[in-house]
Amino acid sequence: MDVLLKTEENLSVMATIPQDKLMIETDAPWCGIKATHAGFNYVDTKWDVKKKEKWTKGATVKDRCEPCHITQVLEVMSKVRDEDPETLSEVMYKNTLKLFFPSEI
């Protein structure tokens, strides 16, 4: 998903996908949202970043997409789509259940 958030055109396409077809992911450990990506302008949540050799607890590794970055992906998606992030995350959670765990819905 992070690669999808790279250009304005990709953001526009993502905004047109029906809610019932959306899921969310990161490209961990690669392709984090960078300052050069169009989606970066929609990111509010940030973490302290350290080079791999200088990593400390509570920081993320520079140039690596971590699982916690799913929050940033949600921020971008919800802002571009002009949707409430809590509502959108619930919809995507249910979509994930439908796809991977249909007996649980």
pLDDT at position 72 is: 94
pLDDT at position 92 is: 97
Give yes or no for residue 93 having a pLDDT over 80: yes
pLDDT tens by residue, 7-37: 999 999 999 999 999 999 887 777 788 889 9
pLDDT tens by residue, 52-70: 999 999 899 988 888 889 9
Q: Where are the beta strands (DSSP E) in the chain?
A: 49-50, 60-61
DSSP 39-85: GGGG------EE-GGG--TT-EETT---GGGHHHHHHHHHHHHT--H
Give yes or no for residue 2 having a pLDDT over 70: no
